[in-house]
A and B are shown apart, each in its own frame.
Chain A
């Protein structure tokens, strides 16, 4: 009993300290009148925050994402900035962790007073950042796939733009293609969090509608190092397709071990992209991917982008859809702010972001006014032995569908 009381007191004390710590930058902000209008000031540089997983589970994606963002900022600054104002950036690492995402979001919003935040990989980070940024009127441009309100995700906010694909863009075109070319029974192996579980709900609907079936489903905690048992289960289930929405390093571990065990089912992953394929081409070869961008896309903007990227970050540095979305983000912010005559007041430029469009490396993209996700293309590809991903099938201009979200 006494023990319980003490623990409760401790939690209360800890909570109080936490709240005080969180409040202090806000108090400081109130004390300095000049700082109060930081996000909406009319001269001086425009500050953009970059927040993502630069260490930990998702490092493989975060590093590329940052470089793409940095490349866009450098190009914009070289061409005169946003409405004549230079962009400065503040880079923060959240180690793919929700608590660190909240801490760093508070820092970027309250003490750095950035005009917008770009980045994040996992849906966990996105949901965490959304508890902080919108209430401080700091727009978030999320560049990774979003499970689109399945499994209780709720990224639907005037201060939120989703630049990654949602299930109707990435999964809806893929399932019929798989029915025609691979098979119709699926075994799902995902990381145990909201994106794999949410997207698998959509997958199950589509598979059921097309007369196929899900024969097995397992979700693994982050940091799993051994998948041997589930690889055996996939084999003995007789599934045609192993559907693997695994996160970051765990996905690489799975690919490696699936290759070791010479698994029979065809690997399909909505997480597979040039970055993963490049990391271990031997293990990735033959995996079916579905993305808004592959390096193999043939268009002028992509050729120019790849050349500039190779120039800055090395000839063999791979890029993916998450990276290109992070490259598009500063360009979209620039277009939206310039659309409202250079105002950095988010209540002015955020509504304008769905009025502009961008012809970039992944083709033409525009923000849908209904749910502020992105109308974009989808490409289905198969990883080749050198780690490149040639496109097999393409659909252009797919409107994002997020059930229940109407802004």
Chain B
């Protein structure tokens, strides 16, 4: 029992972090058609925001407001200044965002130095949950992630913003003809995606080291989660994240970390082969 509970808890932590990153990535890809290679750097941006907040003496919790705010502003600035010029040019967008990720990493390194920075644990201590020992702060991360994920999904599904965005997604030209300012919505969508990634960064920071290249670590599983889930399907992305994070945690204890990571990716390839449109795709979407 204790084994199952602790695997479930560790998986829940990893999955919630991957899901947050993947959700932002999926929103940007689904809505803008841009594969944002610099998405991981928004995670790092959020983590650095948490470092700045805590090292200035303010409580860590403030970072959960500051990080998404900074992420949103940076994301919107990027969209307005650069990405908006690359609409319908997905390959150029990949190159530009890849370049941007390197620029971001070097800027982090120039400003904060190449060494890892520590954000103190704001909620020390452990809980015993059904026999398994688990850090209090990780429970906090899981709960906050769940709230952000549910809020984001509801926002996309129910709000006017979400409805308009889906209209743009279906037919950009028709939406424009109907008076939708698609540039404005793209701006908000990019900002939203970046803000969610930055929250993930702020949530991760106290459990790891804040380093300039940390974004890449989270980008890869998030990418696979988006592909697995089907771009533009927030629930699918969530399922993709559960697949990636859950399997890795469950397998690590039994077959070792290196083999576990390889096996998870092999299983992901098989899943994508069987369901190219995503885990939640309708039958008619499938190509295989």
Could you list which residues of chain A lie within 8 angstroms of chain B, going by C-beta atoms?
54-56, 59-60, 63, 192, 218-221, 223-226, 228-230, 232-233, 235-236, 249, 252-253, 256-257, 259-262, 279-280, 282
C-alpha spacing A252/B14, complex, angstroms: 19
Q: Is the CB of B116 within 8 A of A252?
A: yes
Q: Which of the residues B137, B211, B249, B256 comes within 8 Å of A260, measured between beta carbons?
A: B137
Residues on A with beta carbons closer than 8 Å to the beta carbon of B14: 226, 228
B233 within 8 A of A: no
Q: Evaluate contact between B116 and A279: CB separation under 8 angstroms.
A: yes
By a CB distance below 8 angstroms, the chain B residues around A236 are: 2-3
**Nearest 7 interchain pairs by C-beta:** A260-B135, A228-B10, A59-B114, A55-B114, A59-B115, A229-B252, A249-B116
Whether the Cβ atoms of A256 and B118 lie closer than 8 Å is yes
Contacts of A55 in B (CB 8 A): 109, 114, 212
Q: A228-B13, A260-B137, A262-B133 are in contact. Are A221 and B261 (CB under 8 A)?
A: yes
Q: A218-B257, A221-B257, A224-B257 are in contact. List 16 more A-B contacts (CB 8 A).
A: A59-B114, A59-B115, A63-B115, A219-B256, A219-B257, A220-B257, A225-B217, A228-B13, A229-B252, A229-B253, A236-B2, A249-B211, A252-B118, A259-B121, A260-B135, A262-B135
The answer to whether A229 and B7 touch (CB under 8 A), given A192-B258, A260-B121, is yes
B residues less than 8 Å from A257 (CB atoms): 207-208
Binding site for A on B (CB under 8 A): 2-3, 6-7, 10, 13-14, 109, 113-116, 118, 120-121, 124-126, 132-135, 137-138, 204, 206-209, 211-214, 217-218, 249, 252-253, 256-258, 261
A sample of 12 inter-chain contacts (CB < 8 A) reads: A54-B114, A56-B213, A60-B116, A219-B258, A221-B258, A228-B13, A228-B14, A229-B249, A232-B7, A233-B253, A256-B208, A262-B126
Q: Give the CA-CA distance A324 to B135 in the complex, in Å.
A: 37
The residue in chain B whose Cβ has the minimal distance to the Cβ of A235 is: B133
Give the CA-CA distance A214 to B10 in the complex, in Å.
25
Q: Tell me which residues across on chain B come within 8 A of A221, comparing CB atoms.
A: 257-258, 261
Tell me which residues across on chain A come within 8 A of B115, comparing CB atoms.
59-60, 63
- Return the chain B residue nearest A192 by Cβ: B258
| Closest-CB distance, A282 to chain B (whole angstroms) | 8
Residues of A contacting B109 in the complex (Cβ-Cβ under 8 angstroms): 55
Is B217 a contact of A229 with CB atoms below 8 Å?
no
